[in-house]
Amino acid sequence: MPVYAADRPLSTGDHLQPEDLRTVHVYIPEAAERYVSAEDDLPEGLQLTRMVGQGEMLPAAALTEVTSNGLQAVTVQAEHDLARAVQPGRLVDVWAAAGAALSGEAPDAAQLVTAAEVTDVRESSSTFAAEDSVTVELLVASEELSELLTAQGEGAVISVLPSAAQGDAP
């Protein structure tokens, strides 16, 4: 069966174009629905929600339709256990704690993002890291993106919490 594969490394947030892909023929009947079939033309308006390496078959779960409402895919590292409600398709708020931790003062906490949609959650652990971390992919309003990226760049501790805006939150 023909499926699409990345012709070059593709990043989270990339708008997918036919020239980014090549067709490969594989036989994987038990997992065929997990990958984007090349039997039809690539649908327009797709964006990647995670990185896809060069030569990697294009997972259907790595795609989302580009929204016209100014949302941007972004990943955040959370150094804490997530609430069970933090899962793909749910809304979350993102907080950052920054400040004079070395001076003994309490860090300042601020809410940076309100009601972002979770597109993916990946846990990672390393024998070199002191503790496990969780990578959460979010769709964030463009006006909230700058403050979030600045906080991450400055080393703030990021917390991802279920959003109060989630109407059916448990």
Give the global pTM.
0.56
| Percentage with pLDDT > 70 across the chain | 85
Task: Please report the pLDDT score of residue 170 as a whole number.
Answer: 42
Residue 160 or residue 73, greater confidence? 160
Q: Which CATH class is domain 2-65?
A: alpha beta
CA 104, 105, 106, 110 torsion-angle sign: negative
Which residue type is seen at 55? Answer: G
Higher pLDDT, residue 142 or 131: 142
pLDDT per position as a tens digit, 105-141: 777 889 999 999 898 898 765 555 455 678 898 988 8
Q: How far apart are CA 99 and CA 89, in angstroms?
A: 32
pLDDT digits 0-9 by tens, 56-77: 999 887 887 766 567 877 888 8
Following DSSP, what letter does each residue of 66-94 receive, concatenated?
PPSS-EEEEEEEE-SPPPTT-STT-EEEE
User: What tens digit of pLDDT does each residue of 16-32 get?
Assistant: 899 999 999 999 888 87
Instruction: List, in order, residues 6 or more apart from 13 with CB less than 8 Å away.
Output: 47, 48, 72, 73, 74
57: Cβ contacts below 8 Å, ≥ 6 apart: 3, 4, 5, 24, 26, 35
E-strand stretches of the chain: 2-6, 21-25, 46-48, 63-65, 71-78, 91-98, 108-124, 133-141, 157-162
Task: Give the pLDDT confidence score for residue 100 in this predicted structure.
Answer: 52
Question: Where do the domains of the chain lie?
Answer: 2-65, 71-162
Q: How confident is the model at residue 101 (pLDDT cuts 50, 70, 90)?
A: low
Predicted confidence (pLDDT) at residue 166 exceeds the cutoff of 80: no
User: Is-contact 121 86, C-beta < 8 A?
Assistant: yes
Confidence of residue 169 (pLDDT cuts 50, 70, 90): very low
Q: Give me the pLDDT at residue 122, please.
A: 85
